[in-house]
Structure 1
Amino acid sequence: MPQSFALACVESNSPSLSCDCLAHRFGNAADRPDRVPSYVSDMTEAEWQVIRAVLPVPAWLEGRGGRPEGFCHRQMIDAVRYVADNGVKWANLPADFPPYRRVHAFARRWQVTGLLAELHDRLRDKVRQKEGRAVDPTAAIVDSQSVRAAANIPRSTSGWDGGKRVGGRKRHLVVDCLGMVLAVAVTAASVQDRDAAVPLLERLRKMYFSIRLVWADGGYAGRLVDWAAEKLQLTLDIVKRSDDTTGFVVLPRRWVVERTLSWLMRSRRLARDYETLPAMHEAMVLWSMTMLMSGRLAGRRPRCFQPAGTASAVNTPGRT
């Protein structure tokens, strides 16, 4: 990247080159704190301040075991966002990020320990408050999406969706009325929606006791409706297409979760399933949503222009 372009990026994205992440303040981070944000997936200064305020405290900082991290939290998060946004292999991370093995270990550790879910839920609460909603939702929408699997996906966790004619995996989402993810589960594509909904709705009830109503499509009709009412005290409202409807029609309530599924497809890592473990696919869904929510909370990403007078004006399109 030309030096003049890099300087323009610094001026618009990072007014201060010093890093205030926990790893630099209290850990062993001795890497390059002056890394210049160069990619669309990199957090702007406004986004970093949003995420910095809700970052979960690692165990080592609270004296609960583990060693202080040796790499910048901001750079680690930017590296994971780069993988989610661009769909590259971990080994193909650009050289200005920390070593890819450390980045993958960071992403895996945050998924296993629940730190990623904690960060995601805190950002979702901020979005709901910004939109004038209560933190605890009272209604939700459930749906699924089948995606093709890459060659590295084991057969034990993949299958064939006969209805969509897709071989791979299926991600099941429960979202609130703003389209923010409340719960996610990844199964083989052969698993029926109503079967996957049983553990998903059980988890939803444990996490959000305030929810009383869940909208769903015809794939969830049948015994699941009675089971949800008896076991979980949830009203499962089936929103069906009318018999005389032809072509594409926006259905009440169901369009919200359909929009969320389309948001996820913007992340190339989620356009096809590349994750060996279904749990890592679920983590990539949460990473994708954190990118969307941090951008929404921080406002539109500023454009990064080449200074006037150069041979050609170069800019990086912003993310809304």
Structure 2
Amino acid sequence: MYPSSCTDEQWALLEPLLPARGNTGGKGGRGEKHPRRLLLDAIFYLVRGGIAWRALPREFPSPTTVYDIFCRWTKADVWQRITDVLRHRIRVGAGRNPTPTAAIIDSQSVRGADTVPTRSRGWDNGKKVGGRKRHIATDTLGLLLAVVVTAASTQDRDGAQPLLAAVRAKFSTITLTWADAGHSGRLVRWARQVLNLTVAIVKRCDPGFVVLPRRWVAEHTFAWISKHRRCVRDYETRPEHHEAMVYIATIMTMSRRLARSTNR
């Protein structure tokens, strides 16, 4: 129906990765009323267009239904699992090992709307941004490995600790991580001593615009994410919901990429 809607090729990739349907365990309860493809299209439409839940067009199920499905799948880590599978397939298709051995981390502050509560927002004095900060880890192809959302006032090195812990728990194969100078100091020592992970700092040397080795990969990923208007500004009352929006934006990008390769 819309440019953000799943193509047949995308749906063939994503349908098997969705959780089991409700009312399949013989425990009673109603079955699912709406087609899953329509529900997923509604979520994709919202993430791509940046609209409010209540502004969903009438062609989709009610905003309350779509939001409830979004929350249910977010709580069940569905978006993370789909991201992992799609990343695996892209890496294999590119001739890489399925699991990465190196990562790039970076952070980005985004303005928070009035729906973001005071307890989970802050002020990034360096970027002059009030809202939240998302910390991401990618592989060397720019494919998302993990994301952690904190208040914008959180220092990069502090926000990177739970991020690196999540990366280490998920990928035992990763031994090297590149980061910018904002992650230097105690984070490097902590990662080496606690996670047995090397954090290499890529420093800026020349003035003006310079493409920095490795660091540009994470910037490229931020550009992919920011094409989805719901991720340009933070509207979520809960940080984990903004993390889900980042994963969904990544899923939309990767599934389109895989669908194009399937057509070729």
Give the alignment of 1:24-103 within 5 angstroms: 38-58=1-21, 60-61=23-24, 67-103=30-66
In structure 1, the partner of 2:254 is: 293
Paired with 2:27 and 2:190, the residues of 1 have a C-alpha distance of 41
Quick check: 1:279 aligned with 2:240?
Answer: yes
**Deviation at 1:71?**
1.4
One of 182, 206, 209 as aligned partner of 1:248: 209
Deviation by residue 1:73-105 (Cα, 9 ceiling, x = unmatched) = 111110000000000111110101111100000
Quick check: 1:216 aligned with 2:174?
Answer: no
Paired with 2:176 and 2:27, the residues of 1 have a C-alpha distance of 39
Tell me the TM-score normalised to structure 2 length. 0.95
1:168 aligned counterpart, secondary structure = strand
In structure 2, the partner of 1:205 is: 168
**Deviation at 1:59?**
6.1
Q: In the alignment, residue 235 of structure 2 is paired with which amino acid?
A: Y
Q: 1:71 to 1:229 in 2, by over 3 A?
A: same
One of 154, 163, 182 as aligned partner of 1:191: 154
Q: In the alignment, residue 160 of structure 1 is paired with which amino acid?
A: W
Paired with 1:256 and 1:247, the residues of 2 have a C-alpha distance of 18
Q: In the alignment, residue 285 of structure 1 is paired with which amino acid?
A: V
Paired with 2:227 and 2:189, the residues of 1 have a C-alpha distance of 36
Q: 1:139 to 1:62 in 2, by over 3 A?
A: farther
In 1, are the aligned partners of 2:106 and 2:137 still within 8 Å (CA)? yes
Bigger shift: 263-272 or 118-127? 118-127
Quick check: 1:142 aligned with 2:100?
Answer: no
Give the alignment of 1:247-266 within 5 angstroms: 247-266=208-227
Paired with 2:71 and 2:39, the residues of 1 have a C-alpha distance of 12
Deviation by residue 1:130-161 (Cα, 9 ceiling, x = unmatched) = 11111111000000000101111111100000
Query: Considering only CA atoms, is the larger Rg found in Structure 1 or Structure 2?
Result: 1
Paired with 1:258 and 1:221, the residues of 2 have a C-alpha distance of 18
Quick check: 1:169 aligned with 2:154?
Answer: no
Q: In the alignment, residue 90 of structure 1 is paired with which amino acid?
A: W
2:24 aligned counterpart, secondary structure = helix
Tell me the TM-score normalised to structure 1 length. 0.79
In 2, are the aligned partners of 1:171 and 1:187 still within 8 Å (CA)? yes
One of 86, 91, 108 as aligned partner of 1:128: 91
One of 121, 141, 144 as aligned partner of 1:178: 141
Structure 2 residue runs of 5 or longer lacking an equivalent are none
Deviation by residue 1:260-314 (Cα, 9 ceiling, x = unmatched) = 0111111000111111111100000001000000100001899xxxxxxxxxxxx
Paired with 2:228 and 2:200, the residues of 1 have a C-alpha distance of 30
**Deviation at 1:65?**
8.3
Quick check: 1:269 aligned with 2:219?
Answer: no
2:38 aligned counterpart, secondary structure = helix
Paired with 2:24 and 2:217, the residues of 1 have a C-alpha distance of 39
**Deviation at 1:60?**
4.2
In 2, are the aligned partners of 1:44 and 1:301 still within 8 Å (CA)? no
Q: 1:52 to 1:167 in 2, by over 3 A?
A: same
Bigger shift: 131-140 or 285-294? 131-140
Paired with 1:127 and 1:240, the residues of 2 have a C-alpha distance of 30
Q: Percent same amino acid at aligned positions?
A: 48
Structure 1 residue runs of 5 or longer lacking an equivalent are 1-37, 303-320
Across the aligned residues of Structure 1 and Structure 2, the Cα RMSD in angstroms comes to 1.8
